[in-house]
Amino acid sequence: MKSFEQLGLSEEVLKVLKHKGFEEPTPIQEKTIPAILTGDKDIVGQAQTGTGKTAAFGLPIIELLQEKAKNVQALVLVPTRELAIQVAEEIYSLKGKKNLSIVPIYGGQAIDLQLRKLRKGVDIVVGTPGRIIDHLKRRTLKVDNISHLVLDEADEMLNMGFLEDVEEILKQTSSEKRTLLFSATMPPEILKISKKYMGEYEVLKVTSGQLTTSQTDQIYFEVGVTDKFEALCRIIDIEEGFFGLIFCRTKIDVDHVASHLTERGYDADALHGDISQNLREKILNRFKKRSVNILVATDVAARGIDVKDITHVINYALPQDPEAYVHRIGRTGRAGKEGIAITFITPSEYRKLQSIKRRAKTDIRKAKLPKVKEIITSKKQRIKVNLEEIIQSNLKNEYLEMSKDLLLKNDPEHVLAALLQQSFAGELDEESYAQIKEGVVDSKGKTRLFVGQGKENGLTNKKLADIIKDKCRISNDKIRDIQILDRFSFVTLPFHEAETVLSYFKTKKRSSGIYITKAKKGKK
Ligand code: ADP
Ligand code: MG
């Protein structure tokens, strides 16, 4: 591991880094900073979200640009308005006293303001492709003399359909520029673009997400679809300072979960693509300032967003692929802080989780949902701590006087209990939590079923298999490990088939005389 001093950065920049509190370069910074500073090839840099890719290109670009140039020297393309602002701010904060001007250019902001800034002369433009093209067409921005072009969050830029815009912009840049492409994931399309538009390039990668495995505790809970929301509430409630991002797959789910949380009294906001840019910014700011502590989002809406000290990332629904998983959980456990990533899976998603685990080379361990009793104990504990803090700090006279009045006529224990009851009614009530069924799953994605008949009832291997086959229309090859004991039996089926059998025998229990249920854990 090298230090910033060993990467060839100037005294001025080193001072800034110290001031910002960056102690050492992240792995991707360690690779790209010297490569950009001293090499001359184009660069493709890959590292997961939250690994400091902005500084990985921002720092060397700041070093290489000239002061008092007459033209735009660097163009950074980013997929969203938030990122344009965020990246421009990060670069600005890294430049120190060097005389460089940096402007974010994005749709939604008044074009006049951007024109004024551009006219004054700008060194680094950070912009979204659409608005950059607008300015190129109006000839209010020229990029034919840039020395550096950065494609940041390139995977996301592709996802959002910016390929044509990016190509259009590339055509207007000089052939002498250096191109630096940064991305959290490397789908084949990106390498195709690199081959087509970049000169000789070097790929610098930081794989297997060092941040993920070391800083983020990854667990999963198996819950039925209908129990997910209840499980989510339990997780939020047991934590002392929950500050989390909850991922859903669709906009509809995002709205649904966020509004349910709000109804239940949580401070939650929703973020997805249908929400206007203006509102998105407001929502993000509220979250960053912690006015709300829960943000429910789709992958696209949350990508690239950098919020510090997120305690929990919750995959309310499994992500599409392992890359997205790594991307999502990269939001927590950043820069030395620990975080927890929680994934909900329904029994039928077990296989998908396994494949994510394998391909993302990460360990996701199974955990048990907190019990209602545990949550209530933890809440009580927090209430006590809070009260003690208030007692120590700022008791106001008017309350002290009321307290004296009340104590004249009542027992102190009763007064206090009445106050607690009034303040926390419902919150400490076990009844306010619904029951959750946690499934029984073995490691192969199958369910072991218990059958309430055995040899004594004349049941045999074949008979049991026939009953399952005929009554539930399940093919023979799905039926595994039948075990006939004296008074009961076991059989293993894949999740889906097991559910079919269970629901069949639930309704037909009487007529068939057979009782089937999920086997208790540990019985094989
Ligand atoms: P990425 O683009 O890879 O998702 P960012 O560039 O947005 O990551 O950086 C994530 C956060 O980490 C930012 O808040 C940034 O200031 C911080 N950061 C970057 N480099 C370092 C470093 N070397 N040490 C500590 N924090 C850093
Ligand atoms: Mg980034």
Nearest CA to ligand 1 atom 2: 53
Looking at the CA of 154, name the nearest ligand. Answer: 2
In order, the DSSP letters of 248-288 are -SSHHHHHHHHHHHHHTT--EEEE-TTS-HHHHHHHHHHHH
Residue 350's pLDDT is what?
82
The residues near 323 (Cβ < 8 Å, ≥ 6 apart) are: 155, 184, 185, 187, 360
Q: What is the mean pLDDT of the chain?
A: 87
Other Cβ atoms closer than 10 A to 510: 8
Mean pLDDT of 188-206: 89
Q: Which CATH superfamily is domain 446-518 in?
A: RRM (RNA recognition motif) domain (3.30.70.330)
Nearest CA to ligand 1 atom 23: 25
Token pair 């206007």: residue: 276
Distance 248 CA to ligand 1 centre (A): 25
> Which residue spans of the chain are classified as CATH 3.30.70.330?
446-518
Distance CA 119, CA 139 (A): 11
Token pair 């209430």: residue: 383
Q: For the stretch 295-324, what's the b/e string if a residue is b when 16 or more beta carbons lie within 10 angstroms of its beta carbon?
A: bbbbbbbbbbbbbeebbbbbbbbbbebbbb
Distance 48 CA to ligand 1 centre (A): 11
51 CB within 6 A, ligand 1 = yes
Closest ligand 1 atom to 90 CA: 16
* pLDDT of 166 higher than 90: yes
For residue 377, report the phi and psi dihedrals to the nearest 5 degrees.
Answer: -60, -45
52 CB within 6 A, ligand 1 = yes
Lowest mean pLDDT among 79-93, 149-163, 212-226, 258-272: 212-226
Q: β-strands 42-46, 74-77: how paired?
A: unpaired
* pLDDT of 343 higher than 50: yes
Whether 19 and 42 have beta carbons less than 8 Å apart is answered as no
In angstroms, the Cα distances linking 509 to 323, 463, 514 are 45, 17, 6
In order, the DSSP letters of 15-52 are HHHHHHT--S--HHHHHHHHHHHH--SEEEEE--TTS-
Q: What is the pLDDT of residues 457-505, one digit of tens each?
A: 899 989 999 989 988 888 888 888 888 888 888 888 887 788 888 878 7
**How crowded is the C-beta side of 453, counted as CA atoms within 13 Å?**
14
Q: For the stretch 475-507, what's the b/e string if a residue is b when 16 or more beta carbons lie within 10 angstroms of its beta carbon?
A: eeebbeebbbeeebbbbbbbbebbbbbbebbee
Whether 247 and 297 have beta carbons less than 8 Å apart is answered as yes
Fold of 217-369: Rossmann fold (3.40.50)
Q: Which CATH superfamily is domain 4-205 in?
A: P-loop containing nucleotide triphosphate hydrolases (3.40.50.300)
27 CB within 6 A, ligand 1 = no
Nearest CA to ligand 1 atom 20: 52
Show the CA angle centred on residue 499, arms to residues 498 and 503, nearest 5°.
120
The residues near 30 (Cβ < 8 Å, ≥ 6 apart) are: 1, 2, 7
Token pair listed for 354: 């396994």
26 CB within 6 A, ligand 1 = yes
More confident residue, 299 or 304: 299
Show the CA angle centred on residue 385, arms to residues 383 and 387, nearest 5°.
70
Confidence of residue 226 (pLDDT cuts 50, 70, 90): confident
Distance 25 CA to ligand 1 centre (A): 10
Confidence of residue 524 (pLDDT cuts 50, 70, 90): very low
Distance 12 CA to ligand 1 centre (A): 19
Looking at the CA of 209, name the nearest ligand. Answer: 1
Distance CA 148, CA 478 (A): 59
Q: What is the pLDDT of residues 57-90, one digit of tens each?
A: 999 999 999 999 999 999 999 998 888 998 999 9
Distance CA 194, CA 187 (A): 11
Distance 53 CA to ligand 2 centre (A): 5
Distance CA 484, CA 453 (A): 8
Lowest mean pLDDT among 102-106, 251-255, 268-272, 515-519: 515-519
In angstroms, the Cα distances linking 91 to 2, 3, 73, 495 are 22, 20, 14, 51
Token pair listed for 94: 């890294």
Confidence of residue 511 (pLDDT cuts 50, 70, 90): low
* pLDDT of 170 higher than 80: yes
DSSP annotation of 332 reads S
Nearest CA to ligand 1 atom 19: 52
Note every long-range contact of 467-471, with CB atoms under 8 Å and residues 24 or more positions apart, other chains counting: 467/512, 467/514, 468/493, 468/501, 471/504, 471/508, 471/512
Mean pLDDT of 356-371: 85
Distance 403 CA to ligand 1 centre (A): 51
Q: What is the pLDDT of residues 102-117, one digit of tens each?
A: 999 998 888 888 899 8
Helix, strand, coil % in the chain, rounded to nearest 5? 50, 15, 35
> Which residue spans of the chain are classified as CATH 3.40.50.300?
4-205, 217-369
Distance 214 CA to ligand 2 centre (A): 20
E strand or H helix that includes residue 61: helix 53-64
306 CB within 6 A, ligand 1 = yes
Q: What is the pLDDT of residues 427-439, one digit of tens each?
A: 788 887 888 876 5
Paired strand residues for 44: 181, 203
